[in-house]
């Protein structure tokens, strides 16, 4: 198998995520302890016990999902002798790009946690509640989505935020503009267009105040060259250049998450046959099935998942 590690974004959080690993592997618990110490917060307690409403808050969900992903990677390395360099690439969906960078040694876990806490807070503060929102356009291709967006732009800021998979595009912007785009999507005959239960319009120009905050924070952050190239959200292409990574993390706040393109580049140009999804849930593996039949997804959540994955890698070696 030719491997990429991929890391989920917001929406994959669940109470109890990573708990089995923390209970059974000291290396996983150490990750959670490190994140708690960096943030001065009992985030691991919130992850273990909830409530889900608090865990879902952007400023908590972002570092929590990174912690769950890095716990998987630390257990793979320390307990199953599988290093990130077993992969040809790493990539992450939105906040998952920070998880990917931490997994590849580009960011420390503590710095990734602090940056994601700030990112979550800055994204939440950027737009007053109610002034912006997001919507999923199900069954839309890029052309149909562009037509819906154009209709939305007559009422305000509106753009494609996430190109997740064929037929799964998310738009973001001012509430009135998103409502106009949804109405146009209905006229175009899209299968479904619906608002998402989000607290802010992520990945659109309305997030510029958050991008400014992240620009300042990232300018001061220690970023190392990653052990394997990181496929960036904003370009759907790999890089291992530190200053490029720094710049693209800022651009990512207002820019489109080009996930479908990232997956297709890894498969078609990078020759990837397995995308191992490290962390909570299996959202990326499910989207992969819609995107290509030339690669398979491998969710890595539980100890059993990790053991089977490590055994399969050793068989191939």
Cβ atoms within 10 Å of 47's Cβ, excluding its own: 29
User: What proportions of the chain, in percent to the nearest 5, are helix, strand and coil?
Assistant: 55, 15, 30
Give the CA angle between residues 105, 107, 112 to the nearest 5°.
135
| 300: number of Cβ within 10 Å | 24
- Please indicate whether residue 215 is annotated as part of the active site: no
Element at 297 (helix H, strand E) = strand 296-300
Q: 10 Å Cβ neighbour count for 311? A: 10
Catalytic position from the list 12, 44, 69, 94: 94
Could you say which of 12, 93, 172, 203 is catalytic?
203
Question: Which of 212, 202, 162, 201 is CA-nearest to residue 179?
Answer: 201
Question: Is 93 a catalytic site residue?
Answer: no
**C-alpha torsion angle, residues 210, 216, 218, 219 (rounded to 10):** 160
Token output for 246: 């720094």
Token pair belonging to 120 = 């979550």
Residue 167: cis peptide before it, omega within 30 degrees of 0: no
Extract the runs of DSSP E, i.e. beta strands, from 57-207. Answer: 89-92, 132-138, 158-165, 168-174, 192-195
User: At which residue do the structure tokens 């917001």 appear?
Assistant: 10
* Residues noted as catalytic: 94, 203
């Amino acid at each position: 198998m030719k491997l990429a590690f991929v890391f989920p974004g917001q929406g994959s959080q669940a109470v109890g995520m990573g708990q089995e690993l923390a209970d059974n592997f000291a290396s996983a618990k150490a990750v959670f302890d490190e994140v708690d110490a960096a943030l001065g917060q009992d985030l691991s307690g919130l992850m273990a016990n909830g409530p889900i409403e608090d865990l879902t808050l952007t400023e908590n969900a972002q570092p929590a999902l990174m912690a769950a992903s890095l716990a998987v990677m630390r257990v793979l390395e320390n307990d199953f002798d599988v290093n990130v360099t077993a992969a040809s690439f790493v990539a992450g969906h939105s906040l998952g790009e920070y998880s990917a960078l931490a997994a590849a040694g580009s960011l420390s876990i503590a710095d990734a946690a602090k940056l994601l806490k700030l990112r979550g807070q800055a994204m939440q503060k950027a737009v007053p509640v109610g002034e912006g929102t997001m919507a999923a356009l199900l069954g839309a291709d890029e052309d149909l989505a562009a037509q819906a967006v154009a209709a939305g732009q007559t009422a305000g800021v509106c753009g494609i935020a996430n190109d997740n998979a064929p037929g799964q595009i998310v738009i973001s912007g001012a509430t009135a503009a998103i409502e106009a785009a949804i109405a146009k999507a209905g006229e175009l005959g899209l299968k479904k267009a619906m608002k998402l239960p989000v607290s802010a319009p992520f990945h659109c120009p309305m997030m510029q105040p958050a991008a400014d905050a992240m620009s300042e924070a990232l300018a001061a952050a220690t970023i190392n060259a990653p052990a394997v190239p990181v496929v960036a959200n904003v370009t759907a292409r790999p890089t291992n250049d530190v200053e490029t990574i720094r710049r693209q993390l800022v651009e990512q706040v207002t820019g489109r998450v080009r996930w479908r393109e990232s997956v297709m580049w890894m498969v078609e140009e990078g020759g990837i046959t397995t995308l191992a999804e490290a962390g909570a849930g299996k959202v990326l593996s499910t989207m992969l099935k819609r995107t290509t039949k030339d690669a398979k997804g491998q969710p890595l959540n539980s100890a059993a998942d990790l053991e089977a994955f490590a055994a399969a890698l050793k068989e191939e070696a």
